[in-house]
Chain A
Amino acid sequence: MESSILESIGQEIIGVMSPVSLCMLLVVLLVYSLSDSNPFSSSSAPIRTAANLVYLENPSDTTAQKLEGALLNALVFVILIAIVTFVLVLLYYYNFTNFLKNYMRFSAFFVLGTMGGSIFLSIIQHFSIPIDSITCFLLLFNYTIVGVLSMFSGGMPIVLRQGYMVSLGIIVATWFTKLPEWTTWVLLVALALYDLVAVLAPGGPLKLLVELASSRDEELPALVYEARPTVSRNEGNPRSTLGLLVAGVSDSGSVELQAVSNNNVRRDGAENRRSPEYTAIQVRNLENVEGERNRDEGERSPLVGHSRERYSSDSNSSEYSTVIHNRESETSVDEEMSPLVDLLGMDNEREHERRDSVVASRGIKLGLGDFVFYSVLVGRAAMYDLMTVYACYLAIISGLGCTLILLSVCHRALPALPISITLGVIFYFLTRLLMEPFVVGMATNLMMF
């Protein structure tokens, strides 16, 4: 019995959703376990980071004060990010590749080592894990070094790389959840708006970056999660793509997903055999052939010179290289590090990799910043109740799904934050204001339906 199409549709989406879900789950667990441990001491000394430079939220402030301060904080933070991103684009434009690369290594090391280390410490304290300091230091050092190596050099298993991406997202997101509540919400909305502008508006920094990288036919200089299939799981049958499905349904000829950020490098364009309906879409730069997807089933990606992972050719035949958007810049902004540093640091790694593997750019890509801010939203929701966590999770995932489907329709780089964050915020407040009293009132009376 031939395998049904159920097994092949949607694999790309699941490939992106599962790490996002994992990241959110771990952040929620961390927030739960760590915030329960010391509800009083931890909140006593609010930290000052790049995200609340202007205003330090105080529980006794009035609502207007909080709102105003949060707006100012968000404004400053977004401006900082914009500046950093522009600097990054400039550096990239003038080919400061080595500088970027080394800086990115350093900053990844720093994030993993210090921020991760402090999180590990608090875990150790909370669970009273008996471990001596030397062992702890050694383990942390190894963890950090392996992380830097796996993120910045080829030849490492993709699973390791993906795992470190997720853990980097977790660490940064956990730090972001320490921001005060109003600032967090306003900041999330502001970042979603910024994302929208930076990716879509002409002259937006991320858009420039994408165009630049794609015109050079290079990897996007940023920290991006690549949902490449490590193993072709479906037994050897070529994967059908969601884009094909959508295209078939909507009669839009071209199915390809453009990389959001610059990675439009889909190599598959070369191979589409029957392209009558598919127009090759050039997203931004003419040079780059965006892959047009041939819809016929047997499409396979030319895995040329791809050193790192065994891709069975069929496995990624249908991959879209879509960078949803890279904005790691925000992720790394934290108290200890200037946002500039992080951003730069993170961006470099991309280039390094891409020489290793031409194919590195295939597969849906999601910027690490998206991981972080999804997780921040869910982590913030976790501080209220579990119900809001589920609601926000579902909203974010469905927003991500919508974005991916849009991606297959629009053929260009899309910001991944706006839809998800909007839905997440809406669902959070709906759940908190409407649903929770209802459900709690029902369930405590053992009324279910």
Chain B
Amino acid sequence: MTVAAGIGYALVALGPSLSLFIAVISKKPFLILTLLSSTLVWLISLIILSGIWRAFLPLNSTTWWPFAILIFTSIASQEGLRLLFWKVYKRLEDMLDAFADRVSKPRLYLTDKMQIALAGGLGHGVAHAVFFCLSLLTPAFGPATYFVDRCSQIPFFLVSAIIALAFVTVHTFSMVIAFNGYAEGNKVDQLFVPSVHLAAGMMVIFYFCSHVYARPSCSVSEPYYVQ
């Protein structure tokens, strides 16, 4: 039963990505490579971030502003990363076009470009879901479940899976929107993406605050380490 629950949590978080992967990405090897490299880039950025923040851990989990700063800096760095990714992608696109000319194939279609962006975004999203949700799911396969006091009605794993799903969606499609915005010079799209990301982060903070301060009696549980 708990195995089924664990698989279910994993599928909640990653199911849509999985179907997207099978339907779109897996047929084109280049997209798989894009996905992998984008996942790696996200992982590296996460490692750098955690290296910076490592000194300040563990954060006091009853105050909200350290988390707000952390999330703000993280989102800022990831949006910077997206710009970097775009620069790299531009060069890659030129290379691909040159290559296509050489083998007398058609150049990249608009859909191709969007698929590359989609694969890049999916890489970011999958990395997010994997590291923030899936890697904590190991206890969910065991004989118990876990509740945080902050949300005592729903198992922690389910909450994190749902939040991860939301962020996967944000990451995946914001990359497409952003690349399209960059390509067309569309300011609205370019600004839309970071603001959505920021809004999502702020929602998390808001959620955190509302529970910490609205129910002070319900103290936040000790940080739970998987190990």
B 69-111 to A, binary, CB cutoff 8 A, 1 in contact else 0? 0110011001000000000000000011011101111101100
Q: Write the chain A residue with the least CB distance to B94.
A: A249
Number of A-B contacts (CB under 8 A): 190
CA distance A297 to B101 in the complex (A): 11
B 12-46 to A, binary, CB cutoff 8 A, 1 in contact else 0? 00000000000000011111110011011001001
- Chain B: interface size category: 35 or more
B-side residues, CB < 8 A to A, are 27-33, 36-37, 39-40, 43, 46-47, 49-51, 53-54, 57-59, 61, 67, 70-71, 74-75, 78, 95-96, 98-100, 102-106, 108-109, 112, 115-116, 128, 130-138, 148, 150-151, 156, 159-160, 163-164, 167, 197, 200-201, 204-205, 207-208, 220-221, 223-227
- Supply 8 A–B pairs (Cβ within 8 Å), ascending by A: A6-B108, A240-B103, A297-B104, A438-B50, A439-B135, A445-B208, A446-B159, A446-B208
B78 touches A449 (CB 8 A): yes
B46 touches A435 (CB 8 A): yes
Interface centre among B150, B201, B204, by most chain A C-beta atoms within 10 angstroms, is B204
B135 touches A387 (CB 8 A): yes
B96 touches A438 (CB 8 A): no
Q: Write the chain B residue with the least CB distance to A299.
A: B103
A 359-392 to B, binary, CB cutoff 8 A, 1 in contact else 0? 0000000000000000000000000011100110
Q: Write the chain B residue with the least CB distance to A440.
A: B225
CA distance A348 to B21 in the complex (A): 40
CB < 8 Å: which of A5, A7, A386, A445 contacts B134? A386
Instruction: Tell me whether chain B's interface is mostly helix, strand or loop, or mixed.
Output: helix
A440 touches B136 (CB 8 A): yes
CA distance A445 to B159 in the complex (A): 11
A444 touches B163 (CB 8 A): no
Chain B residues positioned under 8 Å from A395 (CB to CB):
40
Min Cβ gap A5→B in Å is 5
B29 touches A446 (CB 8 A): no
Chain B residues positioned under 8 Å from A6 (CB to CB):
28, 30-31, 96, 108, 112, 115-116
B103 touches A297 (CB 8 A): yes
A437 touches B54 (CB 8 A): yes
CB < 8 Å: which of B67, B116, B205, B226 contacts A440? B226
B131 touches A449 (CB 8 A): no
A390 touches B130 (CB 8 A): yes
A444 touches B102 (CB 8 A): no
- Chain A: interface size category: 35 or more
Instruction: Tell me whether chain A's interface is mostly helix, strand or loop, or mixed.
Output: helix
B135 touches A449 (CB 8 A): no
B131 touches A446 (CB 8 A): no
CB < 8 Å: which of B49, B74, B109 contacts A4? B109
A401 touches B36 (CB 8 A): yes
Chain B residues positioned under 8 Å from A387 (CB to CB):
131, 135
CA distance A240 to B200 in the complex (A): 42
Q: Does A14 contact B (CB under 8 A)?
A: yes
Given contact pairs A435-B131, A438-B49, a sample of 8 additional A-B residue pairs in the complex whose CB atoms are under 8 Å apart: A6-B108, A390-B131, A439-B46, A439-B50, A439-B131, A440-B223, A445-B61, A449-B167
CA distance A237 to B43 in the complex (A): 35
Chain B residues positioned under 8 Å from A448 (CB to CB):
128, 132, 160, 163-164, 167, 204
CA distance A401 to B33 in the complex (A): 9
Q: Does A50 contact B (CB under 8 A)?
A: no
CA distance A397 to B61 in the complex (A): 37
A-side residues, CB < 8 A to B, are 1-11, 13-14, 17, 237, 240, 244-245, 248-249, 295-297, 385-387, 390-391, 394-395, 397-398, 401, 427, 430-431, 434-435, 437-449
Interface centre among B43, B74, B100, by most chain A C-beta atoms within 10 angstroms, is B43
Chain B residues positioned under 8 Å from A8 (CB to CB):
29
A385 touches B163 (CB 8 A): no
CB < 8 Å: which of B32, B57, B96, B226 contacts A385? B226
Which 6 A-B pairs have CB atoms at the shortest separation, nearest pair first?
Answer: A438-B50, A387-B135, A297-B103, A10-B29, A14-B29, A386-B135
Chain A residues positioned under 8 Å from B167 (CB to CB):
448-449
B50 touches A434 (CB 8 A): yes
CA distance A352 to B29 in the complex (A): 32
Chain A residues positioned under 8 Å from B61 (CB to CB):
445
A13 touches B33 (CB 8 A): yes
Interface centre among B108, B130, B220, by most chain A C-beta atoms within 10 angstroms, is B130
B98 touches A249 (CB 8 A): yes
A394 touches B96 (CB 8 A): no
Chain A residues positioned under 8 Å from B47 (CB to CB):
391, 427, 430-431, 434-435
